[in-house]
Amino acid sequence: MSDNNKTNAFAEKLMPIAGKVASSRHLVALRDGFALVMPLIIIGSVFMIISQFPIPAYLNLMSSLFGADWQTTVGWATNATFSVIGMVAVIGISYELAKSYEGIDALSASMVSLASFMLTIPLNIDKAGAAWVPLTQLGSMGLFEALLIGLFITDAFVWMIHKNWQFKMPDTVPPAVGHAFSSLIPGFVIILGMWLLRLGVSFTDFKTIPNVITVIVAQPLNVVGGSIFGALVAEFFVVFLWLFGIHGSNIVGGIMAPIWLGKMTENADAVKAHKAIPNIATQQFFDNFVHFGGAGETLSLALMLMFLAKSENLSAIGKLAGVPGLFNINEPIIFGFPIVLNPVIAIPFVIVPLISVITTYHAMKFGWVGKPLGVAVPWTTPPLISGYLATGKISGAVIQLVNLAIGGAIYYPFFKIADRQALQQEAEKRAQMANK
């Protein structure tokens, strides 16, 4: 069996499995639910850039114009957005999962999930007896809890509705009122169960449900997800799935988003507190230093196609893919080159981003490049600009240039092979046309 036949046979076996994973209602709910969080993170990041822009002259000017506390005042907007992302995530995940089932009022399900989420959070009580909910639990610290509650509570709600554990209202009742009453029994059972769970945990050494989740689930995943090993494994699956036309970034991101977004927020909190930035492997690490130009870091390949390809076909693809590649959109080259099911170009497509993980991680670890500030730079921001904004240092743009050069050197021999093959095919086609 030829290599192409082996590749196609392997793809035929993998595609149904990967397709089922990609279309899993729970994975889709995670992806779309976390999408609800991203606008808040970007808005908060804009205000964070305003308050922490790394140019002393700018900071001094703002202090002279608006007073010494101007950064705190601007930071109100950052706190208002970053401090509710866990609460927004549980609403989004629950809503997206519930609406994937037939006959379920997604809004009611998401409100029950939100109430369950709030029930797990211990109140702070001062000496005067006043109680308040700690914002830290509603923000990044609550992301993993939001993921679990959004999925499991919604599934429990759906199960009870499908078992007809609900009040049936007459058809004359307005739909909004009918949905509210139909969710009474499932909502009561779920809230009662969460209350009993919280009560039971309070008698253990953990004391609170967030502590249980942190120690048993989130803490080990945070350690692995924030390590270079975890970063390499995650990135390998991103590009491996893309080789078969499956959006690996969405699948892996749906699983790892709670970890990477949480670490991003930890970095943002450290910056605001003028402390050392603790994390390297955050959402910005991947978006701005590994996926710039798109998954597989294909920007260097797109530029070679645009300026160096002798094949008319590849040159045309380069012209179509080059500009979108500058804005980190590389579907034109993935499907037009194509990279999908291409055993030759698959080699650099996998190797290049893994090398970028290694070079960037160690450059940040040794202090040669600034760590991500916790600023959510929009993913379409062109390289160099995104590197600078993500780290607040020129070194962020420099490491992008270094990775681009390394990627170009690795892609180049494979590009030449593909260019020669395309030229030969074009010559054969012209010869066939001439003989007709």
Question: What string of DSSP letters covers 124-165?
Answer: EE-TT--EE--HHHHTGGGHHHHHHHHHHHHHHHHHHHHTT-
Q: Return the pLDDT at 183.
A: 80
**Which stretch of 196-210, 214-228, 319-333, 341-355 has the lowest confidence by average pLDDT?**
214-228
At 342-392, the pLDDT tens digits run 777 888 999 999 999 999 999 999 999 999 988 878 777 889 988 998 898
Our measurement of the distance from residue 189's CA atom to the centroid of its chain's CA atoms, rounded to an integer in Å, reads 33
Measured in Å, how far apart are the chain's first and last C-alpha atoms? Answer: 33
- How many CB atoms are located within 10 Å of the residue 390 CB? 29
Block residue for tokens 């009993």 = 196
Residue 86 predicted with pLDDT over 70: yes
Cβ proximity of 119 and 198 under 8 Å: yes
- Identify the band that residue 410 occupies on the pLDDT scale cut at 50, 70 and 90: very high
Block residue for tokens 């609403």 = 91
**pLDDT, the chain, mean:** 81
Q: Compute the average pLDDT of residues 15-20.
A: 54
At 32-68, the pLDDT tens digits run 887 787 788 778 777 877 777 666 777 788 888 787 7
- Identify the band that residue 7 occupies on the pLDDT scale cut at 50, 70 and 90: very low
> How far is it, in rounded angstroms, from Cα 227 to Cα 320?
37
Helix/strand/coil for 277: coil
- Identify the band that residue 178 occupies on the pLDDT scale cut at 50, 70 and 90: low
Residue 32, both tokens: 């779309």
pTM: predicted TM-score of the whole model, two decimal places: 0.66
Block residue for tokens 């007896």 = 129
> How far is it, in rounded angstroms, from Cα 400 to Cα 412?
18
- Identify the band that residue 22 occupies on the pLDDT scale cut at 50, 70 and 90: low
> How far is it, in rounded angstroms, from Cα 71 to Cα 67?
9
- Identify the band that residue 406 occupies on the pLDDT scale cut at 50, 70 and 90: very high
From the list 156, 148, 154, 146, the residue with the least C-alpha distance to 109 is 154
Beta bridge partners of 131: 125
Residue 425 predicted with pLDDT over 70: yes
> How far is it, in rounded angstroms, from Cα 373 to Cα 359?
18
Q: What is the DSSP letter of 54?
A: S
Q: Return the pLDDT at 173.
A: 61
In percent, how much of the chain has pLDDT > 70?
Answer: 83
Which amino acid type is present at position 90?
Answer: V
Block residue for tokens 């020669």 = 420
Q: Return the pLDDT at 172.
A: 61
Cα–Cα distance list, 59 to 65, 73, 218, 224, 430 (Å)? 10, 14, 37, 37, 64
